[in-house]
Amino acid sequence: MASKKNARNGFTLIELVIVITLISILSVTATSKYIAANKFNAFAYRDQMLASLHLMQHQAMQQTDKQRCHQMQVSAQQYQPSLSCNSSSRLFTKLSSKHQQALSFIIPATSAISILAKPSSTLTFDSWGRVSECAEQCIIEFKEQVSARICIESQGYMHAC
């Protein structure tokens, strides 16, 4: 009778193998998500900026009067519409706070991602949707462990590259 009592208190080999397998699957899944989080962030930030650039490009093509200015400033930790234009004859289009938020983004300080714009940190859209600073090609790069890039062609075509 004592041997049956001891057998009921322990785990079987099959139960132990199943529990160890489940714990290993969960740990592999959780570890991969933590390791790949910054890689995902670089691509997410790139896609968000690409959407903002497309929005500004469409505005530049729709608002073609010479009084409007469509510029995006890119720095190491943020991008936002320019508050002033280089040319004194052009005025900056006043944006609502909701619209300003749609075009702007600040990378959180906790992230190690930085933005690098080559060759210029100012992007000015003309009425054809082209970026005047990109005579050949501009590259905006989100750098961390992996780099995610936006390429802007001379014709105004913007894409992930």
Residue type, 149: R
User: What is the helix (H) or strand (E) element at residue 118, kind and residue range?
Assistant: strand 114-118
- Of 88, 75, 71, nearest in space to 125 by CA: 71
Contacts for 41 with CB less than 8 Å, ≥ 6 apart: 111, 113, 144
Amino acid 88: pLDDT: 45
Q: What is the pLDDT of residues 61-76, one digit of tens each?
A: 888 777 777 888 888 8
Tell me if 113 sits within 8 A of 129, measured CB to CB.
Answer: no
Structural domains in the chain, sorted by start: 38-160 (3.55.40.10)
pLDDT digits (tens, 9 = 90+) for 1-54: 555 555 567 778 899 999 999 999 988 887 766 665 556 778 888 888 899 899
Q: Per DSSP, what are the bridge partners of residue 117?
A: 140
Token pair for 35:
């390791």
Main-chain dihedrals φ then ψ at residue 7, nearest 5 degrees: -65, -30
pTM equals 0.66
For position 34, what pLDDT does the model report?
66
Q: Which of 17-21, 105-109, 122-126 has the highest mean pLDDT?
A: 17-21
pLDDT tens by residue, 47-105: 888 998 998 899 888 887 777 778 888 888 888 887 556 554 444 445 555 556 667 78
Q: Per-residue confidence at 145, pLDDT binned at 50, 70, 90?
A: confident
Pull the structure tokens for residue 43. 């691509």
